[in-house]
Amino acid sequence: MTISIADLKKKQSFLDKIKTKIDQTSSGGNRDPRFWAPTFDKETGGGAVIRFLPSADLNEVPFVEYITHYFKGPTGQSYSEKSLVSIGQPDPLADLNRRLYATGIQSNKDQASAQKRRKKFIANILVVKDNANPDNNGKVFLYEFGPAIWGKMEGVMFPQLPGEEPIDVFNPFEGANFFIKIKPQALGTNIVPNYADSHFGAEPTEIKGDIETIINQTHSIKEFVAPDKFKSYDELCKRLIEVLGYTTGTGLETIIGYKFKNPELLEIALTHTSYANESRTPVKHNERLEFLGDSVLQIVSADYLFHAYADRPEGDLTRIRASLVSEGALFQFAQEIDLGEYLRLGRGEERCGGRTRPSVVSDAFEALIAALYLDGGMDVARSFILPFITEGKHAEADYKTRLQEIVQQNPEERLSYVVEQESGPDHDKHFVVAVRFNSDRVARGEGRSKKAAEQCAAKEALKLLGVIKEK
C-alpha cells in the first residue's frame, strides 16, 4: 500500500493509538537485516540520532511490544525465548515463577527473580545520523529497544508537568529527533549499555527529506504479533526443562519438598487417562498408581488416628478416617499444592475443566502418594501425608459435626463461625475464628486456614460443654 503526504497529514496524531496500546503485550522477532542497532563500544560507549516512524499501516499502533526471558540455567545452557504471555496465553516459565514465589522460600524466590521477564519494543525508525556506520544515514529500519528508551518516549508523549505539550514522536511532521547516548556501565563482571542520557529534541520538527518516500519504506510490524511466531507451551516447557535440568513436575517437587530419583514415576502420577488416550505414542497413565496410593493413604491415616485417639472406639476412628480419605478432603489437600495445574490432560478433559474437577484431582493426589511411596518408601509417603491430616482438616467430620449435632438438639440455638483475625502472607496465613451460639461467643480457635481454625474452635467448645476431656 502506498502512503501519500495527504494520508499522512490527514492522520493528525498517533497518540490515541499508542495510549490504548500501553500495558498490552505482543511479540517481537529475532534480528534480521531489517533491524538496526546502535554500535556500542565497551570503553567509549556509542551514540546516534534517529527518528521514530509510523508503521506501514497508518491505522495501526506504530510499535509492538513483547516479553522475553533470558537467563543461564544450572546446566550451563541459556534460556532465550519469547513468552506466550505476550499474546495473552499461559507460559511455562511464568507459571513456574509464580509457584516459586508462592512457596515463600527465599532460595525459590531468588531463582524466580533471576528468571524474571523483560519487556522489549519494536518500531520503524529513520537513521538520521550513525557516526559508526554512515552508510545507514537516511535509511529506514526496524529498531528493537527496551524499557529505558520507552520511558523516554512516554515522558514526552504523555508529560506529567503542567504546561508541557505532548510530542507525538511517531509523527513525521510534529515529532522530534531522538538522540541516543550510550555510556558503558559495569554490571557485575559485565559492561552493559546505559541509555540514561538519551533524549528527544526540545522542539517538534518535521523530518528532513522526501517524507513520502521515507514512509513508504517502512516495514509492517503485524508479523511480530502473529501467534504462529511463538513456540507452543509444550515446546517452551521442554526447553525450560533442558535448561534447568528439571524433570516433568519440578515445580511441584519444589512445593512438596521432594525430588524424585525416578522422574518417570511423577510423570505417570500426573498423567490422566484422557492424555494417554489421545497420545499418538504409548503413554502410561495414573490409574494403577491411584489404586496403590489409596492403600498407602489408608494405612498412614489409620496408623495416625490409632495413636492420636487412643481413647476413641473403632466406630469413631472409622468415621474420621472416612472423612480424611474422601474425595472432598483429597481435593482440598490437592488444591493446597496446586496439583491440578501440573496434570497432563487430554484436550477434551482440559476444555471441560479437568484441572478443577474434584474426581480428577483427588485421584491424581492418590497417584502422587503412590509415586512418593515407590520412589522413597513409606517414610517419604508418610511425611507427605501427615501435614495434611494433622492440621485439623479431618475435624470437619469430627469436632464440627459433633458440635453441630449437639446444637441441633435445641431448635432455638444457632451455630456460626466468625473470623476475628487474619494475618500473615498468602503462603503462611494465620486465622483466629470464634464459634458462636446465637450472638454469644463460646470459644476461639486458631489455624493456618479458616477450616483448621473452625475445627479448633469447635474442639474448644466441646471441651467447655464437657463432651471431650481436656488434654
CATH class of 247-389: mainly alpha
Answer whether CATH 3.90.198.10 is correct for domain 5-229: yes
In angstroms, the CA 29 to CA 89 distance is: 17
91 assigned to active site: no
In angstroms, the CA 237 to CA 231 distance is: 10
Q: Are 285 and 272 in contact (CB under 8 A)?
A: yes
Can you give the length of the chain in residues?
Answer: 471
Among 146-160, 196-210, 322-336, the minimum mean pLDDT is found in 322-336
Catalytic: which of 154, 253, 294, 446? Answer: 294
Q: Residue 154: which H helix or E strand, with range? A: helix 147-157
**Per-residue model confidence (pLDDT) at position 247:** 55
| DSSP line for 199-266 | EE-SS--PPSS-HHHHHTTPPP-GGGG-GGGS--HHHHHHHHHHHHT--TTHHHHHHHT---SSHHHH
Q: What is the pLDDT of residues 387-433, one digit of tens each?
A: 888 754 444 446 777 787 787 777 777 888 888 888 876 555 678 99
Q: Are 262 and 375 in contact (CB under 8 A)?
A: yes
366 assigned to active site: yes
Q: What is the pLDDT of residues 259-311, one digit of tens each?
A: 888 989 999 999 999 999 988 788 899 999 999 999 999 999 999 999 988 88
The alpha-carbon radius of gyration of the chain (Å, integer) is 31
In angstroms, the CA 401 to CA 467 distance is: 13
pTM over 0.85: no
Among 143-152, 335-344, 422-431, the minimum mean pLDDT is found in 422-431
| DSSP line for 2-58 | ---HHHHHH---SHHHHHHHTT--B------TTEE----BTTTBEEEEEEEE--SST
Q: Are 19 and 217 in contact (CB under 8 A)?
A: no
Instruction: Report the Cα 352 to chain-centroid distance in Å.
Output: 22
Q: Do domains 247-389 and 402-464 have the same CATH topology?
A: no
CATH class of 402-464: alpha beta
Catalytic: which of 81, 95, 366, 454? Answer: 366
The residue with greater pLDDT, 179 or 9, is 179
Domain coordinates in residue numbering, the chain: 5-229, 247-389, 402-464
119 backbone dihedrals φ, ψ, rounded to 5°: -100, 140
Farthest-apart Cα atoms in the chain, separation? 95
- In 10 A of CB 288, how many CB atoms? 12
